[in-house]
């Protein structure tokens, strides 16, 4: 009997040892150990969707992720629906994010914020431009601000698709800095960047604030004129495009996109993605993707992104306050 117990004890200890070893081995080497789901909080074909599919493609082609990856679309509520979904998944789901993650919360439209997720990387930025029709008599950024300072309702400003987005906020904060009464500004809100461009080309608005990638082509063709950008360096396609900095206003504004996972990811899981994304941004495919979309590389790893989101959150709070959009 005694012998038996001892034997059993030994056996169990041995088995546990083996199990523990297995556990260790599989745990460390095997995250991810299932399908990776990339959540695009948008309909197929939109900006977030193409980013998600671009990431999937780049990771796959370069063998950076061996597991199966699939993109799932969860559109609605400016990202809210997709992020609600992500919050309920395990660490095998990741999602694209942007400043809407912060502003939805600050505007009281969402309970979720950056602290409810694990930021994994910040990937790219694009700059925002202010453009006028080619035959406009507005000469430059300062000329426009002077007019608005004198009479904030003198110009119709096109923006899309919603107030509180980066195009809107960056415009308001420059104007505010210059001393314009921003609460009086007359914005016309169009459904998409394409509609903003159409309105500008047709001369139905005086000014438009929109992504540089959306306005650049028409500017190069002489159909519209970009009078200011939020960039911190010259635009390679046309170095004569002035930034706000060039015009004496110390203002830059990156419109970033990043990627995050659900809350409470382990250090090991975070390390895996740090490693994966740092390699991804070096690949040729990623470079082409950035170039095609008109984006700039803006890679930050997990630690960098956590810090960056914290800073951005404070900045947006002030911005929305300036724009008079917080309660």
Partner 1 sequence: MGIDWNSFLEGLTTALRFENLLFIIIGGFLGTVVGMLPGLGAATAVAVLIPITFGMDPTSALILMGAIYYGSMYGGSRSSILVNTPGDASSIAATFDGYPMTRKGQAGQALTLATLASLIGGFFAIIGMMFLTEPLSSFALQFGPAEYFFLLLFTLSAVVSLSRGNLIKGFISMFLGLMMTTVGVDSQSGVYRYTFDIPHLSDGVDFLIIIIGIYAVGEVFYNLLNIKNEDLKVKSDVGKVWITKEQWKRMLGPAIRQGPVGFLIGILPGAGGSIASMISYSTEQQISKNRDEFGKGAPEGLAAPESSNNAAGVGAFIPLLTMGIPGSGTTAVILGALIMLGMQPGPMLFENQPEIAWTFINSLFIGNIVLVIINLALVGALIKILKTPSKILYPIILVLGFIGAYTLGYNIIDFYILIIFGLLGLAMKLLDIPPAPLILAVIIGSSLEQNFRMANVRYDSFMDILTASPIAMVFAALTILSIFLPKILNYLAKPKV
DSSP three-state, residue 262: strand
Verify binding: residue 287, partner 1, rule CB under 8 A: no
What residues from 225 to 284 belong to the interface with partner 1 (CB under 8 A)? none
Judged by beta carbon, residue 214 or residue 301, the one nearer partner 1 is: 214
Binding test (CB under 8 A) with partner 1, winner from 32, 78, 254, 261 = 78
CA 281 vs CA 155, 177, 262, 296: distances in Å:
41, 35, 22, 11
Judged by beta carbon, residue 195 or residue 232, the one nearer partner 1 is: 195
Judged by beta carbon, residue 270 or residue 320, the one nearer partner 1 is: 320
CA 256 vs CA 47, 211, 263, 297, 327: distances in Å:
12, 12, 21, 10, 26
DSSP 243: P
Binding test (CB under 8 A) with partner 1, winner from 23, 44, 179, 287 = 44
Sheet holding 117-126, edge to edge: 69-73, 36-40, 93-98, 255-262, 117-126, 296-300
Vertex 51 angle, CA 34 and 309, to 5°: 90
Verify binding: residue 74, partner 1, rule CB under 8 A: yes
Question: CA-to-CA distance for 225 and 218, rounded, in angstroms?
Answer: 8
State the minimum distance, in angstroms, from the CB of residue 218 to partner 1: 7
Judged by beta carbon, residue 133 or residue 261, the one nearer partner 1 is: 133
295 contacts 98 by C-beta, under 8 angstroms? no
Verify binding: residue 57, partner 1, rule CB under 8 A: yes
Question: CA-to-CA distance for 55 and 146, rounded, in angstroms?
Answer: 43
Structure tokens at 94: 């990741």
Judged by beta carbon, residue 81 or residue 142, the one nearer partner 1 is: 81
Upper half-sphere CA count for residue 132 (Cβ side, 13 Å): 17
What residues from 144 to 163 belong to the interface with partner 1 (CB under 8 A)? 156, 161-163
Verify binding: residue 110, partner 1, rule CB under 8 A: yes
Verify binding: residue 76, partner 1, rule CB under 8 A: yes
Nearest alpha-carbon partner for 79 in 116, 53, 41, 109? 41
229 contacts 235 by C-beta, under 8 angstroms? yes
Verify binding: residue 68, partner 1, rule CB under 8 A: no
Stretch of 202-210, 229-237, 239-247, 252-260 contacting partner 1, by CB under 8 A: 202-210
State the minimum distance, in angstroms, from the CB of residue 137 to partner 1: 18
Over the window 289 to 318, marking each residue x when it contacts partner 1 by CB under 8 A and - when it does not, the resulting string is x-xxx-------------------------
DSSP three-state, residue 33: coil
Verify binding: residue 221, partner 1, rule CB under 8 A: yes
Binding test (CB under 8 A) with partner 1, winner from 87, 134, 142, 201 = 201
Structure tokens at 175: 């104007």
Verify binding: residue 64, partner 1, rule CB under 8 A: no
Binding test (CB under 8 A) with partner 1, winner from 63, 202, 236, 324 = 202
Q: Which residues bind partner 1 (CB under 8 A)?
A: 43-47, 49-50, 53-54, 56-57, 72-78, 80-81, 84, 107, 109-110, 156, 161-164, 186, 188-192, 194-195, 197-199, 201-205, 217-218, 220-221, 223, 288-289, 291-293, 325
């Amino acid at each position: 009997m005694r012998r038996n117990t001892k034997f059993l004890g030994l056996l169990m200890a041995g088995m546990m040892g083996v199990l523990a070893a297995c556990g260790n081995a599989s745990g460390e080497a095997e995250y991810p150990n299932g399908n990776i789901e990339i959540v695009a909080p948008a309909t197929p074909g939109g900006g977030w969707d193409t980013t998600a599919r671009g990431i999937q493609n780049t990771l796959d082609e370069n063998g950076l992720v061996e597991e199966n990856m699939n993109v799932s679309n969860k559109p609605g509520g400016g990202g809210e629906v997709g992020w609600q979904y992500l919050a309920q998944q395990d660490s095998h789901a990741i999602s694209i994010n942007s400043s809407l993650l912060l502003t939805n919360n600050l505007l009281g439209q969402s309970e979720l914020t950056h602290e409810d997720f694990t930021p994994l990387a910040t990937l790219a930025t694009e700059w925002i431009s202010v453009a006028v029709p080619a035959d406009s008599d507005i000469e430059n950024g300062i000329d426009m601000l002077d007019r608005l300072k004198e009479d904030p309702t003198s110009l119709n400003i096109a923006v899309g698709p919603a107030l509180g987005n980066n195009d809107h906020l960056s415009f308001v904060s420059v104007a505010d800095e210059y001393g314009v009464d921003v609460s009086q500004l007359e914005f016309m809100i169009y459904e998409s960047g394409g509609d903003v461009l159409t309105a500008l080309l047709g001369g139905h608005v005086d000014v438009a604030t929109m992504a540089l990638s959306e306005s650049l082509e028409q500017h190069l063709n002489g159909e519209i004129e970009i009078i200011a950008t939020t960039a911190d360096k010259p635009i390679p396609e046309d170095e004569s495009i002035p930034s706000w900095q060039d015009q004496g206003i110390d203002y830059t504004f990156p419109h970033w996109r990043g990627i995050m996972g659900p809350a409470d990811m382990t250090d090991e899981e975070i390390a895996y993605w740090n490693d994966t994304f740092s390699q991804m941004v070096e690949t040729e495919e990623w470079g082409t993707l950035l170039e095609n979309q008109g984006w700039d590389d803006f890679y930050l790893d997990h630690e960098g992104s956590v810090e960056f989101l914290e800073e951005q959150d404070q900045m947006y709070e002030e911005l929305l306050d300036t724009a008079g959009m917080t309660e």
